[in-house]
Amino acid sequence: MTGQSSSQAATPIQWWKPALFFLVVIAGLWYVKWQPYYGKAFTAAETHSIGKSILAQADANPWQAALDYAMIYFLAVWKAAVLGVILGSLIQVLIPRDWLLRTLGQSRFRGTLLGTLFSLPGMMCTCCAAPVAAGMRRQQVSMGGALAFWMGNPVLNPATLVFMGFVLGWGFAAIRLVAGLVMVLLIATLVQKWVRETPQTQAPVEIDIPEAQGGFF
């Protein structure tokens, strides 16, 4: 009876943990993604361009151009990469596992579709979204849901679609959107069916219970 009551006392959800997770998500994405893309969208709308190519002068000194490109890319992506590592860790300790299992843990198409929808606000590249997808898998999220989240971040990036619409035309952006949806949903669904999930079992926790005292002697 004591063990049952103690397990029931540990089951209530601590509301501050999911709240803290979503606060970090909103603040982090605003700082590294939403706010920078917001300003670039107005520039793309006015100039119909996102700037000159970084490798425009690559013929003169290709090694210097490659080094400059690597440095510029690192400075542009490192904050989002750090955020991805933080979110991939926090999702394992702040989000209840049963929440993830009810939404993204099922092997049906619903989990893949929800993984695709949850990827839209992230707008991350594959390297930045990978730690989050890995954390989801450690929490027993289905293969289809985690893969759809990982692929949907770069393929269905709303900022990329907006930039394409202003620079290349909205017809091209619509083709990219439809093709991206088909690719993400189809690949994630096929992988979900082909890959056999191996159930992960948690190691039992041993609890020391003092023996009952028989009497005075």
Neighbours of 188 (CB within 10 A): 27
Per-residue model confidence as pLDDT tens digits over 26-42: 999 999 999 999 988 98
Contact (Cβ atoms closer than 8 angstroms) between residue 145 and residue 114: yes
Which pair of structure tokens corresponds to residue 142? 């289905």
pTM: 0.80
Q: How far is CA 21 from the centre of its chain?
A: 13
Which pair of structure tokens corresponds to residue 86? 């933080």
Distances in whole angstroms, Cα of residue 97 to Cα of each of 110, 114, 176? 17, 16, 34
CA dist., res. 130 & res. 107, Å (int): 20
DSSP 168-192: T-HHHHHHHHHHHHHHHHHHHHHHH
pLDDT reported for residue 92: 95
Neighbours of 213 (CB within 10 A): 6
Confidence label for 51 from pLDDT (cuts 50, 70 and 90): confident
Per-residue model confidence as pLDDT tens digits over 57-112: 666 777 888 888 889 889 989 999 999 999 999 999 999 999 999 888 877 899 99
48, pLDDT greater than 50: yes
CA dist., res. 119 & res. 24, Å (int): 16
